[in-house]
Amino acid sequence: MPRVPSLRSRWASAAAGLAVVASALTGCGSSGQSGQATLNWYNFPDDSGALQQAADRCGQQSGGRYTIRYNKLPRGADGQRQQLVRRMAAHDTDVDILGLDVTWPAEFAEAGWIHEWTGQLRDRATADTLDAAVRTATWQGRLYAAPYNSNTQLLWYRDDLVQTPPGTWAEMLAKADELARAGKPHYVEIQGAQYEGLTVWFNTLITSAGGSILTPDAQAPSLGAPAVTAATVMHDLATSPAADPSLPNQMEDQNRLAMESGTAAFELNYPFVYPSMKANQPELFQHFRWAPYPAVIPGRPASVTIGGIDLAVGAYSRHPDLAFEATLCLRDRENQLTNALKGGLPPSLRSLYQAAELTRSYPFAADVLAALDSASIRPKTPAYQNVSIAISHTLSPPADIRPEKDVADLHGQIQDALGSKGLIP
Amino acid sequence: MSTRHARTLTGWGVANLVVVLYALFPVWWIVALSFKDPATLTDGNFVPREWTWANYRGIFQTSEFTRALVNSIGIAVISTAIAVVLGTMAAYAVARLRFPGKRLLIGISLLIAMFPPISLVSPLFNIERVLGLFDTWAGLIIPYMTFSLPLAIYTLSAFFREIPWDLEKAAKVDGATPWQAFRLVIAPLAAPGVFTTAILVFIFCWNDFLFAISLTSTTSARTVPAAIAFFTGSSQFEQPTGSIAAAAVIITIPIVVFVLLFQRRIVAGLTAGAVKG
Amino acid sequence: MTPSTASRATAGKAPAGPSRGARQERRLGLLLCAPAVVVMLAVTAYPIGYAVYLSLQRYDLRFPEQAHWVGLANYGAVLSSPYWWQALGVTVLITVVSVAVELVLGLALALVMHRAVFGRGTVRTAVLVPYGIVTVVAAYSWQYAWTPGTGYLAALLPEGSAPLTEQWPAIGLIILAEVWKTTPFMALLLLAGLALVPDETVRAAMVDGASFGQRLRLVILPLMKPAILVALLFRTLDAFRIFDNIYVLTGGSNGTGSVSILGYDNLFTALNLGIGSAISVLIFVCVALIALVFVKLFGTATPGAEPESR
């Protein structure tokens, strides 16, 4: 209320303000109990309880030396990265274990935000672990993280529309064409929005065609003819009747929804669609089948881009030794199995894929393992985000792709991106 | 004259109805989404075929969302109160008094209102970590009131300028005490501006996402818009649309209550009538 | 505080040296403003200063030891980049169209809220609800509504069209979402301004035979000028920095990105602090220009101007 405030009331409000600040300051000083260390683990949010269970279990197994506090990060990968980057750039000592997306270890390692794994730790972190997963956690020959869970895409289709699954993209588009002419559901669902998923698609296609986005030393773009092939496949899909009208705006979840709504015949997506279809569309589920990702070159199996999470130890952690130990526990066989069964996260330990408990709820486990064994990784460079944005920006919308021209454009853009020159769109 | 009056009334009545529909139509869509179960989410129906409370049950299953609600309410109310008080003082001075540095004050407020907050987030984060304010209520209250002060000062001074302050003098001449003069003459005229500002500041604090997500890390200070970013579907790719919609409905309710309480005040000053003229 | 000789000059005919009353008034004024100023400066001085400082460096967070001073090179890089100019074009378009629509619509809403016939409280509250909903949630609901197959609005369009995937329809939908969301802000400020228009004056005009349109133009709007200024100014400043709606609806793809999205991408995704800060400063400069134009246009109605005839 406006009035001429007396001197006293002004000081009162100032004092109140200070009291607020003071109470907040004192209120948050009460952390660490004496003796036992609290390790802070930052990871994507998981409501199934699997990750919390792992954190509790490992804390108990430590024999009282540490407890693990599972802190959630935002759901989206971008949000997770922002939080982690902000804290590590501020040399945050409260971040002990980080759950990194497989494309981030190079970036975090180069910036000096995570510890290297050497000697025995390195051996234990890579034992029985999928090759491709280990490659994602390696930068310049050194291991910077322990692979946690994995992910890969399969071809999902409806066997009431298609008897035998197509083996190549050309076959798949032809089948979709047929279905379209017969007036049946015929869309091929794939992630075509301008985001990371588009880069994943391109990476899968170019490596399946025998090429790669960057040269092995990650200093320059490679691209070349396989890139043109990949771009052509994307263009062909986007301009055929097989393309969902929303393709330029679709991410994984939209693909899932479209498939469940019955308008699609094929879907290229992660295994999370399986339990979802089972729960949401029991009738459609009867005809829901899977097959390996279609090849680009006949006779040469596809190299699907690997996804997943790697666990790293924060460089400013006050208890790095304990953090290494805790990380190894978090990713051990038992916990990865729980993650797989409860949380739906494919493990990174090879032997688990033959375990009976897994194959019971993952009937497609063998196909997932095969895909992971021949998986490709995304370009490994600290400037990966720039490279990815250059790719998704140039190739979006897929219907407007002009293969030769766009690949030539990409060459220059990726070169700039590697040197983090200029703006990104 | 009376038929014209009746027609005017009907005209306004229809206009009212149109306005309410236009405003609430998309809101109904959010409400509908919150009652749909995951299987029927994509059927595009404006009215859910099957109604379920599952989404609402789901968000209250853990204490996270409830904590976020408490945080939001507390932080928004405190920030609004402080911002309105400080803003009122400054606006009164700007509107009524002569003193050096007035233009500077206005300039500084505008500068703060205009600078893109995305580049301010990281430095603020660093400061708060050093001061130990990170992930606390005060850590959000202070930026919120800072960034709503410009709007508060501008709005309030614009309204204070319009108040005929001589009325206060006239009332005193008529025998009223200073307090009576203020209470019966000035306060009702100032009320529209103050309550308008309070509503706008509250909504700003309530809906802010950028600061909330950057300056908190646990449920001790995370507000609702940020908490929504942590909702998960049944897998990492699934967008928890139902939960988000349910959360949206729940957090709009306090806004509705707040506005319902204060909207009368905005024009109450005028209905007092005899103050003007 | 620097003494504002300008204000001293307008006070003009005062005797040599301020009188005791004037001195007291000055002191009171400064004291009243002090808390607000102290808070604002204490919180924002370092961040804003740091942001400007960063914009003059080549600083990529991923290569921290390569940070070095480059002066205005970042600004050069931004201003010579086609991405900046496209984003600026899109931003200006969205700002102009949405603010214009919101002004007209907001005025209409304010008039309706002012003369609510039934359920006054309900009408006013209903109008404010869109503004009260969390922006990202509203944006999600719009995205769902316009996605073919899952949305009720998309079903109204011809088969197979996905408006969010093409540039111009998408921009139109972004403007729609923005207008729906923030018109209440305008309407509220204009309503409070309407409340200050004396009923007697309006009635007198009506008695004099003025039509509704004339009453509006000649009596109501001029008296609402300060409120209109505040509403327009702040709304334009906010509209220029539009982010949430675009981020959720299209992610800035297909040429729908605004300057804020550009800044966000370069700052948070590319971790290029130099370029990102330069973009932020440039956004600030653009917005400051807009504010300057408004202040010049509305002149004496600005809050800081001396109240002449009080």
pLDDT, tens only, A216-261: 888 899 999 999 999 999 999 999 998 988 888 888 988 998 898 8
Q: What's the pTM?
A: 0.84
Residue B181 pLDDT exceeds 80: no
Arithmetic mean of pLDDT, A340-344: 85
pLDDT for residue A181: 93
Residue A417 pLDDT exceeds 70: yes
Q: Do A246 and C266 touch (CB under 8 A)?
A: no
Q: Do A275 and B43 touch (CB under 8 A)?
A: no
Min Cα distance C254 → chain B (Å) is 22
Higher pLDDT, C292 or A32: C292
Contacts of B86 in chain A (CB under 8 A): 13
Higher pLDDT, B260 or A199: A199
pLDDT for residue A161: 92
| C100 Cβ under 8 Å from any chain B Cβ | no
Q: Do A111 and C62 touch (CB under 8 A)?
A: yes
| A239 Cβ under 8 Å from any chain B Cβ | no
Q: Do A24 and B214 touch (CB under 8 A)?
A: no
pLDDT for residue A172: 94
Min Cα distance A57 → chain C (Å) is 35
Half-sphere exposure at residue A401, Cβ-oriented, CA atoms within 13 angstroms = 32
| C256 Cβ under 8 Å from any chain A Cβ | no
- Counting as contact any 3 or more CB pairs under 8 A, the partners of C are A, B
d(CA B202, CA B195): 10
- Count of A–B CB contacts within 8 Å? 119
Residue closest to C164 by CA, chosen among C174, C156, C155 = C174
| C47 Cβ under 8 Å from any chain A Cβ | no
Dihedral, A357, A362, A363, A366 alpha carbons, nearest 10: -90
Return the ∠ at Cα A130 (arms to A127 and A134), rounded to 5°.
80
Q: Do A272 and B235 touch (CB under 8 A)?
A: yes
Arithmetic mean of pLDDT, B61-86: 92
Q: Do B89 and A5 touch (CB under 8 A)?
A: yes
Could you tell me if the ipTM is greater than 0.90?
Answer: no
The 10 Å Cβ neighbour count of residue A246 is 26
Residue closest to A415 by CA, chosen among A279, A230, A234, A223 = A223
Q: Which residue of B has its CA nearest to C199?
A: B270
| A92 Cβ under 8 Å from any chain B Cβ | yes
- Counting as contact any 3 or more CB pairs under 8 A, the partners of A are B, C
pLDDT for residue B276: 37
Q: Do A251 and B129 touch (CB under 8 A)?
A: no
As given in the structure block, the two tokens for residue A13 are: 């409000």
Q: Which residue of A has its CA nearest to C164?
A: A249
Q: In this predicted model, what pLDDT tens digit does every residue of B183-207 receive, in sequence order?
A: 777 777 788 788 888 888 988 898 8
Nearest 5°: phi and psi at C13? -75, 20
Arithmetic mean of pLDDT, B64-76: 92
Q: Do C147 and A246 touch (CB under 8 A)?
A: yes
In chain C (310 residues long), the average pLDDT of successive 10-residue segments reads 46 57 82 90 91 90 83 90 93 95 88 72 78 81 77 72 81 91 85 79 82 79 81 87 86 85 89 91 91 75 47
Nearest 5°: phi and psi at A310? -115, 145
| C293 Cβ under 8 Å from any chain B Cβ | no
Residue closest to B151 by CA, chosen among A107, A395, C192 = C192
At A328, which helix (H) or strand (E)? Answer: helix A320-330
Residue closest to A67 by CA, chosen among A320, A269, A326 = A326
Cross-chain CB nearest to A75 (options B42, B43, B232): B232
- Pick the residue of A23, A28, A316 with the most B CBs within 10 A to test the interface with B by mutation: A28
d(CA A378, CA A388): 9
Return the ∠ at Cα A151 (arms to A147 and A155), rounded to 5°.
160
Q: Do C287 and B114 touch (CB under 8 A)?
A: yes
Most confident of A398-407, B99-108, B163-172, B248-257: A398-407
Q: In this predicted model, what pLDDT tens digit does every residue of A36-95 receive, in sequence order?
A: 899 999 999 888 888 999 999 999 999 889 999 999 998 888 889 999 998 998 888 999
Q: Do B93 and C122 touch (CB under 8 A)?
A: no
Instruction: Tell me if the bond preceding A397 is cis, omega within 30° of 0.
Output: yes
**Average pLDDT over all residues of chain B:** 81
Contacts of A247 in chain C (CB under 8 A): 165
Q: Are C150 and C140 in contact (CB under 8 A)?
A: no
Arithmetic mean of pLDDT, A159-180: 93
- What is the amino acid identity at position A53? Q
Higher pLDDT, B232 or A28: B232
Contacts of A256 in chain B (CB under 8 A): 237-238
Residue A311 pLDDT exceeds 90: yes
Residues in chain C: 310
Question: pLDDT category, A150, cuts 50, 70, 90?
Answer: very high
Residue B275 pLDDT exceeds 70: no
Q: Do C62 and A383 touch (CB under 8 A)?
A: yes
pLDDT for residue C7: 45
Residue B1 pLDDT exceeds 70: no
As given in the structure block, the two tokens for residue A412 are: 């220059």
pLDDT for residue C199: 80
Higher pLDDT, C269 or B15: C269
b/e map of A297-314 (b: 16 or more CB within 10 Å)? eeeebbbbbbbbbbbbbb
Q: In this predicted model, what pLDDT tens digit does every residue of C157-174 receive, in sequence order?
A: 776 667 877 888 889 999
Q: Are A268 and A138 in contact (CB under 8 A)?
A: no
Residue closest to A296 by CA, chosen among A167, A404, A151 = A167
Contacts of C145 in chain B (CB under 8 A): 26, 29
Only one residue has tokens 């090759």, namely A131
Q: Do A249 and C269 touch (CB under 8 A)?
A: no
Q: Do B194 and A260 touch (CB under 8 A)?
A: no
